[in-house]
Amino acid sequence: MTTPATPSSPKPAADDRNLVAVDAATAVGLEEKLHVFWQKNGVAVLVLCGLVLLGIIAKGGWDYLNRQKELDVEKDYAAATTPEARKAFAAAHPEHSLAGIAQLRLADDAYAAGKFADALVGYEAVQKTLHGGPLAARAKLGAALAKISSGKAADGIAELKALAGDPSQFKGVRAEAAYQLTSLAADAANGADVQKFADQLMSIDPQSAWAQRAITLRAMYPAAPAPTPAKKDTAAAAMGVALPGK
């Protein structure tokens, strides 16, 4: 007798849940939400990351080039050891702060050589290049002194007074300006101004070397005493009596 074949096991029913497409509305877990986000925005994210990376690389390259350029300028300045070389450096780098320093050195050299008109041009160029800071203030002081020495005394003295009286100005510059005013007053034998500007200097910086020099000038040029009014015998004058010897 033939044994009937054992029937094969029926296939389990397929899980229809796996056939449903997952989208932003049906995503449940974090993993599914991330998967959906990446499918929709993956290309854009990659492009954005690439752009950011390119920006970082470009900035790094730009910074490197600027550092190299700055080093080259500093080397050129260090090599400029003569007045002619400093002039060439300042002309080649007119907007750089080191050009202002080179111009300041040239102006100081011109002043020391008695070329006051050239010094004035140099000091004014420094102020246009540096626009502020202690070196620009130093150039302003130099310009005032150059004006005094080149025949523009009234303008130079007015600028010295403005520097000495400016509380926002650097203390060292104010002190030197006050001393120069004291010295000019001493040259004119004006004891009253010597005392006035020396006192101003002491109020600015009594510990400076300029103050010590001003003290010496103040001792040499005391203020002239106020004239004593002549005494009159009012009673005698009223009676018309002439005093002896008058």
Burial tier of 198 (Cβ tally within 10 Å: 0-12, 13-18, 19+) = buried
Nearest to 148 by CA among 158, 139, 136, 138: 158
- Report the predicted TM-score, pTM, of the whole model to 2 decimal places: 0.62
Q: How much is the pLDDT for 47?
A: 79
How far is the C-alpha of 199 from the C-alpha of 179, rounded, in Å? Answer: 10
Q: How much is the pLDDT for 240?
A: 47
Query: CB neighbours of 134 closer than 8 A, spacing ≥ 6?
Result: 170, 172, 173
Radius of gyration of the chain (CA): 43
Residue 179's CB: how many other CB atoms inside 10 A? 26
Q: How much is the pLDDT for 62?
A: 53
What is the residue type of 230?
Answer: A
Q: How much is the pLDDT for 188?
A: 95
Mean pLDDT of the chain: 79
pLDDT in tens, 183-200: 999 999 999 999 999 999
Q: How much is the pLDDT for 26?
A: 60
Residues of the chain under the 70 pLDDT cut: 1-29, 33, 53, 58-70, 73, 224-246
8 Å CB contact between 99 and 115: no
Residue 149's CB: how many other CB atoms inside 10 A? 17
